[in-house]
Amino acid sequence: MTLIALLPGDGIGPEVIAEARRVLEALDLGLVFEKAPVGGAAYRAAGHPLPPATLDLARRAEAILFGAVGDPECDRLERALRPEQAILGLRKELGLFANLRPARLFPGLEDASALKPEVAGAIDMVIVRELNGDVYFGEKGMRTTAGGLREGYDLMSYNEAEVRRIAHAGFRTAEARRGRLCSVDKANVLETSQLWRDVVIEVSAEYPDIELTHMYVDNAAMQLVRNPGQFDVIVTGNLFGDILSDQASMCAGSIGMLPSAALNAEAKGLYEPIHGSAPDIAGQGRANPCATILSAAMMLRHTLDRAEAADRIENAVTAALKAGARTPDLGGTLSTAAMGEAVLARL
C-alpha cells in the first residue's frame, strides 16, 4: 500500500486536486489516498492552517499532493495563522529544501505564451529554488523607528550548509539534463548572495562536466523574456526563485501549466502546482488542472519510482493540448473537469 496525502487547501485547490486524483486512480497503481484540510480551510475547521492531524498525515504518507493555500478572508489574521504558513510549515517540518520547478512550452501553446512564438518555443528549463531559508524564515517583525514611523523587517540570511545542499541539487539536476547551470543571485548588493556565489563555486569543483554561469537576478528576469532558450537549469534562493518561476510560467503559456516538487534529503516529496489559490475563479470550474496533474507525474517519478506511469501522464497532457484542449487561461473554454477528462482520455 502506498499512502498519498491529499491536501487540497483553498480556492481552486480542491478542484485541481480532484482532477489529479482521477488521473492517478485511472492508472491503477495501488495508491491509497487520505485527505486532510490545510491553509484557510484548516483554520476554519480546526483553528490552525497546519493542524497536528494534517502534519501527522504528511509525515505518514509516502508523498504529498498539495493544491494551493491563500484566502482573502484570512488576510487580517496574525501571520502565524495565515493560510500561507501551512505550506511554509510543511516545507520546514519535513526538511523540503529543494524545489524543482520545470518550465517548458508544450507544443501548440506558442499562442498562449507572453513571448513571440519563435522565442517561446525555446523554453525548456528547470528552476531549482531553495525553500528553507531566505527572507521567508529570517527574523521578521514590526517596530517603531526613533522618528515614530512603523517599520517592517524580514532578515535575509543563508548559511553555507543551506547553500551547499541546494547547489548540489542544482548541479545534479543539470547533470540529468543538458549540463548547464546558471546560479542567480544579487551578489553586487547582498552579503547572502556573495556567500551564495562563493559556495556555489566551491561546490562546482565536484561537477567538472557542468558549465556554471552566474547571473544577477534583475538580469535573469530580463533574459528570461529576451532569450529564455539560454537557460537549462537555474539555481537560486527562495524569494528570487518564487518570482522568477511565476515569470517563467507566463513565458510557457500560463501559470496553470507549471508543476513542482519540493524534496528533502531522502527524496520524500511534496508536489504542488506553482500557482496559488486564485480566489477570483474558485468554484467556477475555470481552473487549469494541468499543473497539478503534472505535479502528480513528478510525484510518480521522483518519490514513487514509477517513471513509466509518469511518462504516461505527461504524454497524455501533451496529447490533450496538441488536440486543442484548453482551459480559459490558455484561451479556451474547457472547464476544469473537461480538461481532466481530455487528459484521462489519452492516458
- Residue 241 interacting with ligand GGG (CB under 6 A): no
Q: Which is nearer to ligand GGG, 84 or 162 (CB)?
A: 84
Please tell me which residue in 10, 186, 207, 232 is annotated as part of the active site. Answer: 186
- Residue 69 interacting with ligand GGG (CB under 6 A): yes
Query: Is-catalytic flag, 116?
Result: no
Whether 278 has a binding-site annotation, put simply, is yes
From the list 23, 24, 38, 87, which residue makes contact with ligand GGG (rule: CB under 6 A)? 87
- Residue 14 interacting with ligand GGG (CB under 6 A): no
Helix (H, G, I), strand (E, B) or coil at 250: helix
Whether 194 has a binding-site annotation, put simply, is no
- Residue 70 interacting with ligand GGG (CB under 6 A): yes
Stretch that binds ligand GGG, among 191-199, 215-223, 270-278, 305-313 (CB under 6 A): 270-278
Please tell me which residue in 43, 71, 134, 136 is annotated as part of the active site. Answer: 136
Q: Which is nearer to ligand GGG, 9 or 253 (CB)?
A: 9
* CB proximity list for 33: less than 8 A, separation 6 or greater: 3, 4, 6, 21, 24
Residue 105 DSSP code: P
Q: Which is nearer to ligand GGG, 70 or 228 (CB)?
A: 70
Query: Is-catalytic flag, 242?
Result: yes
Query: CA-CA distance, 37 to 96, in Å (whole number)?
Result: 20
* CB proximity list for 288: less than 8 A, separation 6 or greater: 16, 254, 256, 257, 327, 328, 329, 330, 336, 339
Q: Which is nearer to ligand GGG, 15 or 242 (CB)?
A: 242
Q: From the CB of residue 309, how many other CB atoms can be counted at a distance below 10 Å? A: 22
Whether 91 has a binding-site annotation, put simply, is yes
- Residue 272 interacting with ligand GGG (CB under 6 A): yes
- Residue 11 interacting with ligand GGG (CB under 6 A): no
- Residue 19 interacting with ligand GGG (CB under 6 A): no
| Cα four-point dihedral sign 172, 100, 220, 224 | positive
Whether 187 has a binding-site annotation, put simply, is no
Query: CA-CA distance, 111 to 330, in Å (whole number)?
Result: 9
Helix (H, G, I), strand (E, B) or coil at 335: coil
Chain centroid offset of residue 245 CA? 8
- Which amino acid appears at position 295 of this protein? S
CB 298 within 8 A of CB 100: yes
Sites of contact with ligand GGG (CB under 6 A):
68-70, 84, 87, 242, 272-276
Binding site as annotated, residues: 91, 101, 129, 218, 242, 246, 276-288
* Residues involved in catalysis: 136, 186, 218, 242, 246
